[in-house]
Homo-oligomer: A and B are copies of this chain.
Amino acid sequence: MEHSLQLYELAGRDRVLRFSPFCWRTRFAVAHKGLSLRTIPILFSEKEKIAPYHSDRVPVLLDRGHVIPDSWRIAEYLEKTYPDRPSLFHGDVGRGSSCFIGHWTDTSLHPLILRSVISDIYDALDDRDREYFRKSREARFGCPLEQLFSEAGEAQAALSKILAPIRATLQQQEFLSGSEPAYPDFIVCAAFQWIRIVRKGELLAIGDPILAWREKIVTRYMSTANVHDA
């Protein structure tokens, strides 16, 4: 039987809730490569579990003795280590552009998603993680969590606006990467998985092309049973 890669990833109060967008990038990438994955859920407050791997953040990927932290380094590792499997980047420009799209997602998309669904995220967390989350996010945004909760509506309006280039691209081609999905899709779709998993209802309006695109990717990669808890 083929070996499984192992992924340390963030989980919520209900261990089934795996909402980290960075971990989703890795999940999609591993599935795209047709590899199987065993996941090891950890809480924010269980960072000692990944300390032996010299990382204080998930994702951390283990592959036959190799330890790879950081979603971008993992993507590069997978592309280099499994060149005969479907490509994540399809060459230098796809890889370079993915780097830009990743930074756009990190700096523009993620902060607005976080602010849009922050009360849902807080609700999804294990009790032991709430104090950490409150402290770190209050420091990052410079205001109490309750103020962020009350401003979620404004964040959602701003979020909808910055999604314009995603919608325009999906009107022109089926995926962000062109006619087939690749790493640019995984980066952005991972951000929408974050919303999907912590929130009960959809944030985007019915008929938004982003929803249909997200479902196509999730169906394609997550319907196969390549992911198991370790």
Contacts and interface: CB of A to CB of B under 8 A. Distances in A.
Interface stretch (A95-103, A118-126, A135-143): A95-103
B97 A93 contact: yes
Interface stretch (A53-61, A162-170, A208-216): A162-170
A148 interface: no
A162 to B, nearest CB: 7
Q: Which of the listed residues A93, A96, A104 has the most CB atoms from chain B within 10 Å of its own CB? A: A93
Interface of A: 87, 89-101, 103-104, 106-108, 162, 164-166, 168-169, 172-173, 175-180, 182-184
B101 A179 contact: no
Given A91-B90, A177-B92, A165 B97 contact: no
A166 B107 CA distance: 10
A108 B104 CA distance: 11
Given A96-B182, A106-B165, A107-B168, 18 more contacts: A90-B91, A92-B94, A92-B179, A93-B97, A93-B98, A96-B177, A97-B97, A97-B101, A97-B177, A100-B165, A100-B166, A100-B169, A100-B176, A100-B184, A103-B165, A104-B165, A108-B164, A108-B165
